[in-house]
Amino acid sequence: MIIALAGNPNSGKTTLFNLLTKSTAHVGNWPGVTVERREGVYKDKATGERHSVIDLPGIYSLSPNTPEEVVARNYLLSGKADVIINIVDATAIERSLYLTTQISELDCPVVIALNMSDVLAKRGIDLSADEIADAAGLPACKISALKNKGIAELTAAVRAAASDKSRKGASLVEQTKLGPVYLKIKELLTEKGITHPAFRAAKMLESDPPESGLDAAVTADADKLKEGAFKDEKFGTDVDAFIADARYNYICGRLKTVSAPVTLTERVSKADRILTHRIWGIPVFLGIMFLVFHLTFSEDLFYLTLFGLPNGVPGPGVAMQTGLGWLTGELIGAVGSALEAAPAWVGGLLVGGILTGVDSVLSFLPQILLLFLFLSLLEDTGYMARVAFIMDRAFRRLGLSGRAFMPLLMCFGCAVPGAMATRTLGNERERKLAVLLAPFFSCGAKLPVWAAVCSAVFPAHSDIAVFGVYVLGIAVAILAAFILGKTALKGEMPPFIMELPDYRPPHIRNTLLHLWQKMKHFLFRAATIIAGATVIIWFLSNFSFGFKLVEETSKESILGVLGGAFAPIFAPLGFGTGENGWKFVVAVFTGLIAKEMVVATMGVLAGTEDALEIEAGELAGTSLGLMLSGLSGSAAFAFMAFNLLSVPCMAAVAAAHAEFKNVKFTLFAIAFWIVTAYVVSLAVYQIGSMFEGLGFVGGIVVLGAAALVVFTLVFNFLRKKKGKSCCGGDGCGGCNGCG
């Protein structure tokens, strides 16, 4: 049996999918998490049978406006599903049942799952599943997917519904004044053998026929039947609006005794008065994110060194990294001791190549997981959806809607799902623009680069430095969006409507599953791509073009020659000069495979002289630490900026190409990323060098003040209205929107 899960965004579809299939699909407390259909297997405990479960993207109606909504509707019309579970958000039942009135028109068994019924119970509302079933004409069950309640009753109802193979869809449209013409069109479609005639007849009345299943002759006959058949005092000839109004009137009329509608004012919490405030919303968001980075990367949790006191309290991220570093250091030391009698090249390959390279990346796993933990908690509570809301005004000035914040935020985890999530955006221009900006939002694979460089170059201010890298990426994304929106990607902005989910406490199971998924992905890459690539890097750094063994990390090696050839190009950026310049250049290029390879490459090229002396995961005193500490502060920032903004890993490039569907535009994107990375890194190094003598804090203050001035000028420019103002007395329609 194939079971399809359909419902509004953020109604709990993916949570139910995870519960049924034991899957670890990502669950988030915001609309649009599922951007393509997922398939899993559910084993029915009552019968022992195994069934396929399809998690479809969230949709508000079967009149799609975005690609993922088209995916959901086309699957429901394909006839592949044996039964549909319509997940309904019980806390917003009036809005949720609009989709139900359309799904009930399909020739497929349907069961309504009234999710989050436990939340309603806490509000003192006793929702009757029988009354909902009677109103919708479909079986209904109360469940809580998050707390695993009512699932047995739901699966029993699914088994019972699936046994009814003769079910035919019925539409409430036939109860309206359009009933006679609707029945004629439905009869025509039935005679022609068209599937789902009840649904398709309603859609043809709305002049919104589905893409498949109808030929031109049938459409022409239907158009003749409905021609001049409708005229309404309120809606004129707008059949679409009339049918939508009829659906809502039907829902509200049948649900008067079920629950009172919740007004917007009642849904707005006191927290939202601050978190979504037009002035304080963004500063609060930046403050929260700085706290996250401080707890993750700070070596001085309480800033004791600022008061001349010794630092004895590292942040939790650094503390966990220290513990893991001690463990891996002991392991590398044991392997090195065991290989003392082996040939030198064996020890060099295993210790100096594979183990050192993998450990260079693996040592930052605790900080990566801690950062994702904080981001998951913010997402699960519903706060990140509020950030998308407050970002909409600024984003619209840049050619994006607030909805684009969601896929871009996903890029903080990985650019691949972030690029795929752009399918939720309103039009092709906005999707292309969002994908172009995706690499500027630092993914988890780049995190080891920031942690390594900042720990070696800015040990007392790692948290501020890493936070600065993330802010730099966002600032460049804003500037790039503005430039592209005025040049290569001009176009109109689609309207942005988004539901703010209720605040909910994070669910431990979902959070742990999310972290396990990230850790499994990270360890898999460390054990496969990174381990394999370090072998190649070790070979290329230990052999010349004549395949003769050379001194370790020598410029005469294959990598040394290649890196030296490209080093002059990066000399103006500050990190392509000196004895180790070619090593940083090579690390930049290997990062194209996977961004974790940047640190792994530097770990191998730094040499194994001190590889066995790495203690407590600290870089100070190690070959890698000494190599990185040779960079000036401005050169270190330029190195991080280039790795942040340049071409992402090959997997992200492939995902971007899949969204562009155009080779020329993909090549344009690659060129755009390279040019942007070079120009910004050049500016960072050249400007930063001017303030090198002020020290880290002084430089941050000066650059921060300069950035504040620039942002103020840009913000005022973006706020400037064009055309006439609504407030000027000329009335609406004479301006481009007050925002």
**Is 712:726 a contact under the CB 8 Å cutoff?**
no
Q: Is residue 85 located within the same domain as residue 206? A: no
Of 220-229, 298-307, 333-342, 505-514, the range with the lowest mean pLDDT is 298-307
Given a contact cutoff of 8 angstroms between Cβ atoms, the answer to whether 493 and 430 are in contact is yes
Whether residue 156 sits in one domain with residue 86: yes
The larger pLDDT score, comparing residue 702 to residue 322, is at 322
Name the band, by pLDDT with cuts 50, 70 and 90, for residue 112.
very high
Q: What single DSSP character describes residue 301?
A: T
Residues 181 and 105 in one domain: no
pLDDT digits (tens, 9 = 90+) for 143-199: 999 889 999 999 999 999 998 877 888 999 998 988 998 998 899 888 888 889 999
pLDDT score of 705 more than 70 = no
For 334-343, letters b (16+ CB in 10 Å) and e give eebeebeeee
Residue 730 has pLDDT above 70, yes or no: no
Lookup: tokens for 404 = 């684009």
3-class SS of residue 196: coil
Q: What is the pLDDT of residue 265?
A: 42
- Are residues 189 and 58 both part of a single domain? no
What pLDDT does residue 50 have? 93
Say yes or no to pLDDT of 481 above 80: yes
d(CA 654, CA 666): 9
* Residue whose pair of structure tokens reads 């903080």 in the numeric block: 412
CA 344 to chain centre: 46
- Provide mean pLDDT across the span 292-312: 74
What is residue 305's predicted lDDT score, i.e. its pLDDT?
65
pLDDT in the model for residue 575: 94
Query: Looking at the structure, do residues 149 and 9 belong to the same domain, yes or no?
Result: yes
Domain end residue (candidates: 261, 292, 314): 261
Query: Would you say residue 90 lies in a domain?
Result: yes
Q: Is residue 106 domain-shared with residue 209, that is, in the same domain? A: no
Question: For 257-280, what is the mean pLDDT?
Answer: 64
pLDDT, residue 138, reads 93
The answer to whether residue 436 scores a pLDDT higher than 90 is: yes
Weakest-pLDDT range from 102-106, 399-403, 477-481, 685-689? 399-403
Where does the pLDDT of residue 269 fall: very low under 50, low under 70, confident under 90, or very high at 90 and above? low
Q: What are phi and psi of 663, to 5 degrees?
A: -65, -40
**Domain stops at, among 162, 182, 214:** 162
Number of separate helices (H) and strands (E) present in the chain = 33, 6
Q: Is the pLDDT higher at 174 or at 612?
A: 174
Q: Which residues pair with 735 in a beta bridge?
A: 723
How far, CA to CA in Å, does 274 sit from each of 189, 245, 283?
54, 35, 10
Q: Is the pLDDT of residue 369 over 70?
A: yes
Rounded mean pLDDT, 542-569: 83
Q: Where a domain ends, among 261, 294, 325?
A: 261
CATH of the domain at 192: 1.10.287
Number of domains in the chain: 3
Residue 257 has pLDDT above 60, yes or no: no
What local confidence, expressed as pLDDT, does residue 737 receive?
41
pLDDT tens per residue across span 27-59: 655 555 666 678 899 999 888 999 999 999 888
404, 419 contact by CB (below 8 A): no
Least confident of 129-133, 260-264, 600-604: 260-264
Does residue 552 fall inside a structural domain? no
Q: Is the distance from CB of 543 to CB of 549 less than 8 angstroms?
A: yes
> Residues with Cβ < 8 Å from 630, sequence gap 6 or more?
578, 579, 580
The verdict on residue 196 lying in a domain is yes
* Residue 459, domain member (yes or no): no
Give the model's confidence band at 617: pLDDT under 50 very low, under 70 low, under 90 confident, else very high: very low
The answer to whether 292 and 371 are in contact (CB under 8 A) is yes
Q: What is the mean pLDDT of residues 267-289?
A: 81
How sure is the predictor about 620, in pLDDT bands with cuts at 50, 70 and 90? Answer: low
pLDDT, residue 721, reads 46
CB 357 within 8 A of CB 537: yes
Q: Of 501 and 698, which is predicted with more confidence? A: 501
* Residue 723, pLDDT score: 43
* Other Cβ atoms within 10 Å of 12 Cβ, number: 24
Whole-Å CA distances, 407 to 67, 314, 568: 15, 33, 37
Tally of residues, the chain: 739
Residues 682 and 675 sit within 8 Å (Cβ to Cβ): no
Is 45 inside a domain boundary?
Answer: yes
Q: Cα–Cα distance between 16 and 555 in angstroms, integer?
A: 57
Other CB atoms within 10 A of residue 44 CB: 15
Determine whether 270 is exposed, middle or buried from the number of CB atoms within 10 Å of its CB (0-12, 13-18, 19+): exposed
- Order the strands of the 140-142 sheet from edge to edge: 38-43, 50-55, 2-7, 83-89, 110-115, 140-142
CATH code (residue 70): 3.40.50.300
- % pLDDT > 90, the chain: 22
Residue 255 inside a domain? The answer is yes
- Residue-range definition of the domain harbouring residue 226: 172-261
Cα–Cα–Cα angle for 437, 443, 444, rounded to 5 degrees: 175
Residues 149 and 179 reside in one and the same domain: no
Query: What is the structure's pLDDT at 368?
Result: 77
Pick from 149, 138, 143: nearest CA to 103: 138
Of the ranges 45-49, 82-86, 254-258, 551-555, which is most confident?
Answer: 82-86
Considering the domain architecture, whether residues 152 and 190 belong to the same structural domain is answered as no
Higher pLDDT, 427 or 599: 599
Task: Give the amino acid at 86.
Answer: N
76 and 128 both lie in a single domain: yes
Most confident of 6-15, 268-277, 524-533: 6-15
**What proportion of the chain, given as a percentage, has pLDDT over 70?**
82
Q: Are residues 243 and 198 in the same domain?
A: yes
pLDDT at 704 over 80: no
What is the pLDDT, as a whole number, of residue 149? 93
Which long-range contacts (C-beta less than 8 Å, at least 24 apart) are formed by 34-38? 34/58, 34/68, 35/68, 35/417, 35/420, 35/421, 35/423, 35/424, 36/68, 36/71, 36/420, 36/423, 37/71, 37/72, 37/75, 38/14
pLDDT surpassing 90 at residue 572: yes
Arithmetic mean of pLDDT, 440-462: 86
Give CA separation, 436 vs 351, 374, 441, 598, in Å.
Answer: 39, 26, 11, 22
- Confidence bin at 711 (pLDDT 50/70/90): low
Q: Do both 183 and 138 map to the same domain?
A: no
User: Is pLDDT at 637 greater than 80 in this prediction?
Assistant: yes
Nearest C-alpha neighbor of 474 from the set 290, 652, 639 = 290
Task: Tell me the H-state helices in 543-596.
Answer: 558-570, 581-590
Give the Cα separation of 68 and 37 in Å (integer). 9
Q: What is the mean pLDDT of the chain?
A: 81
User: In this predicted structure, which of 424-433, 525-534, 632-641 has the lowest mean pLDDT?
Assistant: 525-534
> What confidence tier does 593 reach under pLDDT thresholds 50, 70, 90?
confident
DSSP code string of 587-629 = HHHHTTT-TTHHHHHHHHHT-STTGGG--TT--TTSHHHHHHH
Q: Which of 77, 89, 63 is nearest to 4 (CA)?
A: 77
Give the single-character DSSP code of 115: E
Lowest mean pLDDT among 60-69, 112-121, 124-133, 579-588: 60-69
Within this chain, do residues 90 and 216 fall inside the same structural domain, yes or no?
Answer: no
CB 400 within 8 A of CB 409: no
